[in-house]
Structure 1
Amino acid sequence: MSSRESVDLSELAGELGLYEWELVELVNELKNNYMIVQDKSRVLWFAGDNPSRIKPWGWNYSYKLITGSTMIRAKYSPVWSIIVSEWQYGGYGRHGRTWISNLGGLWMTLKLEVSPRTAQILPMIVPIVICRFLQEKLGVKARIKWPNDIIVRNRKLSGFLIEGEVLLSKVIAYLGIGINVNNEPPLETATSLKYILNKLVPRNSIIAYIAGTLNKVEGLGEYTQKVQMEYLELLETLGLRVKVVTRSGTYIGIAKSVTENGDLLVETGSGSYRFSSGEVLELRHIE
């Protein structure tokens, strides 16, 4: 069904090896997470929520119903590729932590080639792009929790992971992005757009916005200070008391600022510290 907007109920039941009544129960369950309707003998999937129906300009686009990890699949794909999957059974986040990718969310990885200068500020560019979409297109007041979360009302809505490899004078960057859209929030500390807006949200518009913006990402490398200022405006962590856990120790202090490449500056009772996202195992906002 993924490549079609509508399909005959009996035909789909045959494809899946189900009785029609079993398929009806399944469709009713999927309606909680997808923009699907049953019209008499047909099942219709709204094209705007069907990622197999989108073709972002300038990208090699691949849609998979199920994959191990979009990040790993991207590493075997051409540069300027986007991999989207409905479900990952091997998705991972920072430091190899398991990433829960349940049905109805948006799970994607973008593979792009950028200059080292642009690569340095990708940890700021990616959350800015996500927050811009949420605020401008959906009216959702999203904020950044350093280093890699997007939060709404102190609950996690989205996360991202950036990996890269140097190739001569360029950097091949892999941007893994997960957004809770129409799925059930996987944790008590998380939320999804479905619950924030009290309705299902078509995911293709999110893919198109992110792809269209990041297609022009190289030019942003010339505006490091501007990117830094916009990032600071969106940073919920700024000015808060934080607990930073690294392999070398735990630090508690006030988040004062970020550097031009997104490192966090924290003022503690014993001095000032600078943390890169890669060295931090955990950061918490504390009272």
Structure 2
Amino acid sequence: MMDVVSLRDLEYVAAVERERNVTRAAASIPMAQPALSQAIARIERRLGVTLFRRTSRTVVPTEAGALLAERGRHLLADVARTIDDTRAAGGHRQVRIQVTEPSLTVPRRVFSAVRHALPGAAVHQMTVPRSQVADMLVSGELTASVGPREHGPGLATEALCHEAVMAVMAPGHPLAQRDTVTVADVAGYPIVSIDSGMSDWNATVARYFTRFGAVPQWTESSAFGAVAAADLVHGSGAVFLALESIAHGLTGPIEHRPFDPAWSITWFVNWRSGPAPMAWTSEVVDAMRGSA
């Protein structure tokens, strides 16, 4: 039956079902959007069913499309697990851990602990768009992720540690004259926007501000990482909201202040729990727990 639908075809269907948009799905694979559209049409012809209903703004899976995407993910996960088990039987262990910024203190401790716990294993740091993390954990493309909590069937998650959030600004900024800042204080200035394709940090900030009846105003330019974000506060009235380890690690003319009341973020470790855990996942998770 694999002459009708290949593993690659299953990846295409799963990507479109996940993104509900062919352009975003193509970017996540990655491949050209017209090529992905043609591939989906080819799969539909071979199966003799409609997998997706197209509208002007979105793509909605049919019952058949949702079924193929769901079971396809399980098949892809089984294949990935079989490959890992085969490598393990041959003495080769490969660990792939997703983290948005591997240079931060918590991820560095995690990777060090995993490498120590699994000597000889190939431990890879991976950074992929947030929208893909849960599916990649379930499919076995990722062994674990460190960062925000991931949700979905077949996933397990556990709080790893907590880290304070700080407001970072230029030395001449009005907020630099204070010992602490409040959400109301910061809401009066532009806040450095972080690339939403790789991180949900902006959404996290917006949710927290809502608790205090405030709405963040974002800078027109977005930054991908901490260093680029810090650069945007120089010579401007912008404020960069950063984890404590980032704020303390920045160099140059910069000031940072804690929030009052204190604001902290929880780091989570996420991994595949079913239908069957990936090889040596328990060792990886145990090592991460020990790093906290």
TM-score by length of 1: 0.25
Q: Identify, as 1 or 2, the structure richer in strand.
A: 1
Report 1 or 2 for greater relative contact order, CA contacts < 8 Å, sequence distance ≥ 6: 2
Query: Rg larger in 1 or in 2?
Result: 2
